[in-house]
Structure 1
Amino acid sequence: MQKLLDGIVKFRREDFEAHQELFKGLKEGQKPHTLFIACSDSRVDPNMITGTLPGELFIIRNIANIAPPYRETKEYVATTSAIEYAVLALGVENIIICGHSNCGGCAACLNPTEELNHLPHTKKWLELIHPVRDRVLKEIPASEPGARAWMMEQGNVVEQLKHLMTFPYIREKVAAGKMQVSGWHYIIETGEVFIYDTETSEFHLANG
């Protein structure tokens, strides 16, 4: 806890002071240009990866960077409501699904389901990416765990892009050329980001 308290003091004395005008402007409201859907993994920092400042990204984080398919419901749906708010209330211009290497959620999904019996809500949540898991287990042999992990992580990003297009207001904006949707695979140990190309159905290294 002390590390966090020290961080508060450092932020106020250094980072906040360096961006006073930015924060003064932000007090009036937010106008982010991008909805960034990322994994909750503590090793993934959306603002650091993209070099953005407060106010630029509207960030949703959950286990395995999942965007559930659209559905009408009266249940409490955190991710779906956040997507709705970002698109319809804030008017974001871009949506990014960002997966990452060594994803614990993807790895857990590849293991026998009974291993998650002690985490019932996590187990239920990961059912959303079982279609990806099934393809990976069918196509990649168990003797190639690295290839399985890579395909699971990237396949999951593609699956979530498909889920986003089930949201009627996202589909309409994309069709009208008013919104861009992109899928990323961030490699923690190298800092590289691979971006999904919908034309080739492949991930290509972002190199500027």
Structure 2
Amino acid sequence: MGDTIDFAVLVRLLRRAAAIVRAHEAELSRLDSFGGDGDHGTTMVRAMGQLEGALDAAAGDAQTTLHEVGWAIMGVDGGATGPLFGSLCMAMSGAAPAEGEIDAPTLANMFDAGLAGVQKNTRAAVGDKTMIDALLPGVRAFAQAARSGGDIAAAFAAAATAARQGAEDTTDMAARFGRAKNVGDKSKGAPDPGATSVALLFQGMHEGLRDDG
């Protein structure tokens, strides 16, 4: 993998991310049962279905496609999952090029914008046992690798590792947002499902980069 990806590769990464999440539906719902309704896996699978539907109707450019993906995910019922993951994609679209290939620094800008979009919709910070615990370190690791001269593969590898560690770090945290905050310390003992979903998305994109297509 070189220093840029084209639109077809971007679509491949997103499809692979959706497939990884779909494969972990039962695990995500099990994690959600510690403090939530136990339906996070089902909700994420619905969100990935919306993502795939938007990709099927893709207009051929990253900017429009990510906006449509985000808009589609926004409409998914199931608590904060749709709005937060939808806002991630919609905000990324604003930093995406309307045409041409995408290099590592541009992808870093897109992820930065996506993180900012999510943060506009939640007051959660690292340590609150939410998706932010994986998203923020994942985005920062991608940016650090990309802006220090690393190629896209190295940046995705760094992001996937950081996001996975961030999700694992939530295991001993007490939730401070969502339904899980109502059970306090009883939410300890398992990783946050939202953070785990973020880690899976980064894992999927990294794997998609290595796929032959």
TM-score where L is the length of structure 2: 0.30
Higher relative contact order (CA 8 A, sep 6+): 2
Return the index of the structure with the highest Cα Rg: 1
Q: Choose between structure 1 and 2: higher strand proportion.
A: 1
TM-score where L is the length of structure 1: 0.31
